[in-house]
Structure 1
Amino acid sequence: MNIDTQKPSMGVLNLQGGEKRFNLSRLPAAEALSYFVKHYWIVRWNSRDDEPYMQHVVPNPCVNLIVEPGKTMIYAPSTQKFTYPIYGEGLVFGVKFKPGGFYPFLKRPVSRLLNRPLEVSAILDMNGPELEGTILSLGDEQAMAIVMDKLLLSKLPPQDEQVFQINRIIDFIAEEKDLSKVDAVCEHFQIHIRKLQRLFDQYVGISPKWVIRLYRLQNAAEIMDLRMPIDLSQLAMELGYHDQSHFIKDFKAVVGCTPDEYRRNVQNG
């Protein structure tokens, strides 16, 4: 399998190592959906390994509609690493909504979905098994995307200016790699912290503080994935942490191991 080392990981930990076991594709949604949908993603694998390969993902502040045999649901952002076992043969199709982009379809606070997946029939005219039969029976990835385009376009809500504002804020958080405080976001966008928190509760599902933390930890993992010599103390400072112990604590709480352990796993993998 050819590994695209330039492909952004978007929270997929050690993507280069993982793509030895599976193929990840990302496809754009129809232009009319691009205000709400970041992209479609498709993962395929056919593993002959004796033991499952455990793929870990640091969550993004995005809702995902996941089409998978027997498990088709809509999932809110999380504050914890997600682990998926890769074994046998499999196919999963996903819709990654832009931050805040799912709220106009849902019309209730996304935070209510935290740890409570939503049935796809809440926004589409079919249930999970019907959607699995419709999407996963198609062998061609572009055909899957076209079918999902039609299903979502039939339910297309009006554009919501708050979605645009949230994406401006989250793009700022993602790009400012030394940003660590919500106050800095409020100052940059001239928004009161309580208004920002309410906005994220309603549209994103997790707090601005957690969004900042997840992006900083994703940044850290992406740097370590490059398999180059890294000074972890310097890395912590570059990511806005004032002390390495705080960085280690946050990294372990979300990723499940210390930065040093993660670095060794990448180097050995």
Structure 2
Amino acid sequence: MKMERHLPADILKPFVEHYLFIESEQGMENRVLPDTSVVMSFRYRGTISDEVAGIKNNLPGTVITGLRKSVRLINYLAQAATLLVIFKPGGAAPFFKEPLHEIFGVSLALDDLIGRQKVAEIEEQLNEVNDSFQRIAIVERFLLSRLYHAKADSLIQQTIRQIRMGKGMVRIKDLVSTLPISHDPFEKRFRKITGTSPKQFSSIVRLRNLIENYNPTVDLTEAALSAGYFDQAHFIKDFRTFTGQTPYEFFRSTIYW
């Protein structure tokens, strides 16, 4: 397996976190946990499939994947290769007219949003080059041609920062009380831009923070309490949905993103 990360051009930095190349010589499986980033993928070689809730599907060449609340398995056959665009939280919205919550929990062929002809042009160009930087240049030209809004929504970005600073343990009601907007319009705006509700977004942040900062010397029950879980059964249920495993199984064996 070969993985390369690249940063976006300056004009795209407010929206794109990084690009990630994944190339598999002999085939592999990645366990992908829920995250707060919408991801766009451009497969330029081989076959890639995913598995969600036990259902396997071969993925189209160019895919956009929305936020989700459950684990996803990505299977790369031998010689498969793809370029991923990892958007910042809320960063994909300026490139699409459609509200992003409509793709929550799914991986959708990009054709369904922008038309087959344009996607076919990008796929053909990517297949004709053999250099990572050339592929990034092709994708960046495509992204710039789709940039409908030059700036991210400052109010939603502010709330995203507050949720992340609070490690997902933020009362949405309290958060909205500090904003110049009422709850229902805020919720609708947040869902449209980030791809999910403030509550679900906070839940993803909370569990990822717990996993990324897990210390095996700390009792798991104590770690769950520190993350704001006061019901162990609720914590284990959420964790299994999120990772596909119990906390014990996950921290003993899993490799994840």
TM-score norm. by structure 1 comes to 0.77
Structure 1: gaps of 5 or more residues: 1-21
Structure 2, gaps ≥5 residues long: 46-59
CA distance in 2, matches of 1:40, 1:120: 21
Instruction: Give % identity.
Output: 26
CA contact (8 A) 2:168 2:202 kept: no
Note the C-alpha offset of 1:82. 1.5
Query: How many equivalent pairs are there?
Result: 239
Q: Provide the residue aligned with 1:259 in structure 2.
A: 247
1:103 paired to 2:82: no
Q: Name which of 167, 185, 190 aligns with 1:200.
A: 190
Alignment-mate amino acid for residue 134 of structure 2: A
Task: Determine if contact 1:100/1:204 at 8 Å carries over to the other structure.
Answer: yes
Shift in Å, 1:35? 2.5
- Cα distance change, pair 263–123 in 1 and its aligned pair in 2 (3 A): same
Q: Which has the higher strand share?
A: 2
- Offset at 1:252? 0.7
Of 159, 163, 173, which residue of structure 2 is paired with 1:183? 173
The DSSP-based 3-state class of the residue aligned with 2:30 is strand
1:33 aligns to 2:21 (yes or no): no
Q: Paired residue for 1:250?
A: 238
Contact 1:196 1:208 in 2 (8 A): no
**Cα RMSD, aligned residues only:** 2.7
Task: Name 2:42's counterpart in structure 1.
Answer: 67
Amino acid at match of 1:144: R
Deviates more, 1:126-135 or 1:234-243: 126-135
Per-residue deviation, 1:125: 8.6
TM-score (ref. length: structure 2)? 0.80
1:179 deviates by 1.0
What are the within-5 Å matches in structure 2 for residues 96-175 of structure 1?
Answer: 96-114=86-104, 115=106, 117-120=108-111, 122-123=113-114, 126-162=117-153, 164-175=154-165
1:55 matched residue in structure 2: 30
Q: Which moved more, 1:256-265 or 1:101-110?
A: 101-110
- Corresponding residue for 2:2? 23
Q: Which residue of 1 aligns with 2:81?
A: 91
Secondary structure at 1:117's aligned position in 2? strand
